[in-house]
Structure 1
Amino acid sequence: MRNVPLGSSGLTVPNVVAGMMRIDDMSDADVRSLYEAARHAGIDFFDHADIYARSLHSAERRFAEALGLSASERGEIRLQTKAGIVREGPYFDFSYEHLVSSVEESLRALHTDYIDVLLLHRPDALVEPAEVARAFDHLESTGKVRAFGVSNHTPRQIDLLRTAVRQPLVANQVQLSIAHAPILTQGLAANMESAAQSAVLDGGGLVEYCRIAGITLQAWSPLQGTRGGGTFLANPEYPELNAVIDELAQKYDVPPLAIAVAWITRHPADMQVVLGTTNPGRLTDAAVGSDLRLTRAEWYALVRAAGYLVP
């Protein structure tokens, strides 16, 4: 498992993350099997959110109750969670009161006294940066949160937060896969008027902005396509892409899933891949992509096979 810097936090973290969004209905034994597969693969970073699963904080609670980690075991892993979405609305709330109360409930649910990383979960159009700064200052000074970041934020939305927030924003979790790659492929077609791919969907230059600002990109839904729903792997809607993936999987003697992960980890931005699987075997297969370094030609071949323009 290859480790990468987590922004400017000084931490090094695995470039593959175990997402805990779907564990709510799993048995204790199944949660333990998933956790043990992750640890065996070198993954010690677990991604949560207050709104995941059946009820607020229930996936966090399921994780803690199933594992029953000792204090020393808790110290061996990184726990990341998110706050800011009010699911019942739905709407977004980056107020001091909402962020602090959500984190305090996450701490209770996770049976821990600190969160390693807190992300603001999608942008709040009504954000008041000073409110976010006040919440972050409180959470940091009380030892409840050690590092902060965002998810699905554009460069200018991040800049707005940084007018008031004094802590470094160390991560930005965004959707990215071979088959859903506008944050990477828009730049390939920049200034090409006839190419729909050239349309700016992220505020412009998100990947480059995060690299300059020292913000680690975390890729969610790394297997999600845009045609026919579901994963692009073995999906008849993606015949060209799967042909190239299968060819590379055979060449490197790895599962196709590892190629999908390796396409993201190959990027020099040192991104993290957030897996959503609850299957220990698939998690193990995906983790193989952590250290697999595709050639430039192979990386671009996958871009073309996904249907993107490489001029």
Structure 2
Amino acid sequence: MRIMPIEKRGISDSRLVLGCMPFGGGWNSEPITQEHIKEAEKAVEAARSIGITMFDHANIYTRGKAEETFGKVLKAQPGLREQIVIQSKCGIRLAEGDLPGMFDFSYSHILESVEGSLKRLGTDYLDVLLLHRPDPLVEPEEVAVAFTKLKESGKVRHFGVSNMSVGQIQFLERSLSMPLVVNQLEMSLAHLHFLDETVHVNQQAGTAVRFAEGLMEFCRTKDVQIQAWGPLAQGRFSGRALPDEPEHIVRTAELVKRLAEEKGTTREAIVLAWLMKHPALIQPVIGTANPERITACQDAERQAELMTREEWYTLYVSARGKALP
């Protein structure tokens, strides 16, 4: 098995990432409470107990309160900052007054966003900064100037993107002096476009696939770490019954449960193991603050190593709800 690209770049050896979007309460202006801080502390403790050392943020999560809450956790635990990897994102501007929500990769917005994240987190640097979603008005040269300034000042060590295609990454990289080391994408048993794009070449069914052509192969060739957001699919395969689920999703949840029981592990571990079995060495970003659900993911890496090709394809075809072409 080849080494994780992100590890080769000296960023993190953590096979799982804790997504901190739930921290700090709701997406509103209500203040952070001691209960919110305690919840975050318990989530961080649970994550570290199973070997997670990388934590994923964005400047907009709970309108900045997620980063601020995490900053309070760091302040209460001197020395913790040097033991972990912090990744954050910028580029999304939430709706404000008469202005709609928008994307912004301008020089000023990138710098202002990073300064805000550093202040809220109470740290001098980010290990990784991602551009959150593609901005149609992007000027790569402007991004390059911002990235260079952040790199030279020591405020950001590595850079990446989220939700971007091959062409969008290449367009940015032609102006950058540093590589883009991460691409974070939605991937799960409930969001299979990353696989369907691969198997539906020269197939009519491929016209319904919503994934950038060749993106998986490009990222693997260029040693861009692929991260998966939403990898647990809102718990629909690990015990959380959502209304009006299609029959094939219900059957897949039953299959996950059976495999977990046979292997003496959790359903969360099976769901994540299925993603981690992929040779791209996908790095799931677990988006929960529930300590029990976090620790339920502990066995995922081992289960990925144990999962057979037959088991992997059985889960894939079941989650597709139809046979492969």
Give the alignment's TM-score, normalised by structure 1: 0.92
Query: Residue in 1 aligned with 2:282?
Result: 271
* SS of residue paired to 1:13: coil
Q: Report how far residue 131 of structure 1 moved.
A: 0.5
Query: Residue in 2 aligned with 1:133?
Result: 144
2:80 matches 1:80: no
Query: Residue in 2 aligned with 1:90?
Result: 101
Q: Report how far residue 33 of structure 1 moved.
A: 1.0
Q: Report how far residue 189 of structure 1 moved.
A: 2.0
Distance in 1 (CA, whole Å) between partners of 2:68 and 2:144 is 27
Indicate which of 303, 307, 312 corresponds to 1:299: 312
Between 1:25-34 and 1:214-223, the stretch displaced more is 25-34
CA offsets per residue over residues 23-42 of structure 1, 9 Å max, x none?
Answer: 11253222111111111100
Q: Report how far residue 61 of structure 1 moved.
A: 0.3
Aligned 8 A contact 1:303 1:310 in 2: no
Residue type of the partner of 1:302? L
2:181 matches 1:170: yes
Distance in 2 (CA, whole Å) between partners of 1:243 and 1:27 is 34
Query: Residue in 2 aligned with 1:179?
Result: 190
Q: Report how far residue 232 of structure 1 moved.
A: 4.0
Runs of 5+ consecutive residues of structure 1 not aligned to the other structure: none
Distance in 1 (CA, whole Å) between partners of 2:126 and 2:186 is 23
2:53 matches 1:63: no
2:9 matches 1:9: yes
CA offsets per residue over residues 222-275 of structure 1, 9 Å max, x none?
Answer: 1227xxxx7343435322201221121012111111111101111111111001
C-alpha change, 1:268 and 1:198, in structure 2 (3 Å) is: farther
Query: Residue in 2 aligned with 1:153?
Result: 164
Residue type of the partner of 2:80? E
Residue type of the partner of 2:133? R
Indicate which of 245, 256, 259 corresponds to 1:248: 259
1:114-125 superposed matches below 5 A: 114-125=125-136
Aligned 8 A contact 1:46 1:80 in 2: yes
Q: Report how far residue 165 of structure 1 moved.
A: 1.0
2:269 matches 1:258: yes
Distance in 2 (CA, whole Å) between partners of 1:69 and 1:282 is 24
Query: Residue in 1 aligned with 2:115?
Result: 104
Between 1:301-310 and 1:92-101, the stretch displaced more is 301-310
Aligned 8 A contact 1:150 1:171 in 2: yes
Distance in 1 (CA, whole Å) between partners of 2:165 and 2:40 is 34
* SS of residue paired to 1:75: helix
Distance in 2 (CA, whole Å) between partners of 1:274 and 1:130 is 30
* SS of residue paired to 2:178: coil
Residue type of the partner of 2:188? S
Query: Residue in 2 aligned with 1:212?
Result: 221
Distance in 1 (CA, whole Å) between partners of 2:202 and 2:77 is 55
CA offsets per residue over residues 168-198 of structure 1, 9 Å max, x none?
Answer: 10000000001111011221122122x2x45
Residue type of the partner of 1:176? M
Aligned 8 A contact 2:11 2:127 in 1: no
Distance in 2 (CA, whole Å) between partners of 1:308 and 1:69 is 51
Question: When you count helix as a share of all residues, which structure comes out higher?
Answer: 2
Distance in 2 (CA, whole Å) between partners of 1:97 and 1:198 is 39
Aligned 8 A contact 2:87 2:127 in 1: yes
Identity of aligned residues (%): 41
2:155 matches 1:144: yes
Q: Report how far residue 213 of structure 1 moved.
A: 1.1
Between 1:21-30 and 1:292-301, the stretch displaced more is 21-30
Residue type of the partner of 2:317? R
Distance in 2 (CA, whole Å) between partners of 1:247 and 1:190 is 32
CA offsets per residue over residues 78-123 of structure 1, 9 Å max, x none?
Answer: 0000000011231111011000110011000000000000000010
C-alpha change, 1:8 and 1:149, in structure 2 (3 Å) is: farther
- The count of residues paired between Structure 1 and Structure 2 equals 301
C-alpha change, 1:146 and 1:69, in structure 2 (3 Å) is: farther
Give the alignment's TM-score, normalised by structure 2: 0.88
